[in-house]
């Protein structure tokens, strides 16, 4: 362990804001890149289900 206490860990030797901001942005980028395609997938599937149903009703 590089830190003696939790407060020291948060403080990052006075650079806490910089370090934690970097890791927070990284987390945001990871989450966006996973959530965005998953939402897209749901949208594509609902759209196609609707299209198939429409085609069945009036062929």
Partner 1 sequence: MADKKWMPRWFYQLASPRWCYDITGKLLPIFAVAAVLLLVTGTVWALMFAPADYQQGDSFRIIYIHVPSAILAQSCYMMMAVAGAIGLIWKMKVADMVAKSCAPIGATIAILALATGAIWGKPTWGSWWVWDARLTSMLILLFLYFGVMALNSAIESEQTAAQATAVLALVGLVNIPIIKYSVDWWNTLHQPATFTLTEKPAMPPEMWIPLLVMVIGFYCFFAVAMMLRLRNEIVRRERRSSWVRELISG
CA angle 16, 29, 10 (to 5 degrees): 15
* Touching partner 1, residues 18-57 (CB under 8 A): 18-19, 21-23, 25-26, 29-30, 32-34, 36-38, 40-41, 44-45, 48-49, 51-52
* Distance between CA atoms of residues 51 and 54, nearest Å: 5
Integer Cα distance of 30 and 23 in angstroms: 11
Give the DSSP H/E element, type plus range, for residue 23: helix 16-57
Q: Which of residues 1-20 bind partner 1 (CB under 8 A)?
A: 1-3, 9, 12-15, 18-19
Interacting residues with partner 1 (CB under 8 A):
1-3, 9, 12-15, 18-19, 21-23, 25-26, 29-30, 32-34, 36-38, 40-41, 44-45, 48-49, 51-52
């Amino acid at each position: 362990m590089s830190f003696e206490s939790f407060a020291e860990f948060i403080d990052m030797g006075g650079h806490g804001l910089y370090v934690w901001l970097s890791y927070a942005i990284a987390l945001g980028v990871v989450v966006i890149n996973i959530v965005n395609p998953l939402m897209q997938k749901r949208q594509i599937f609902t759209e196609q289900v609707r299209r198939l149903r429409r085609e069945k009703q009036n062929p």
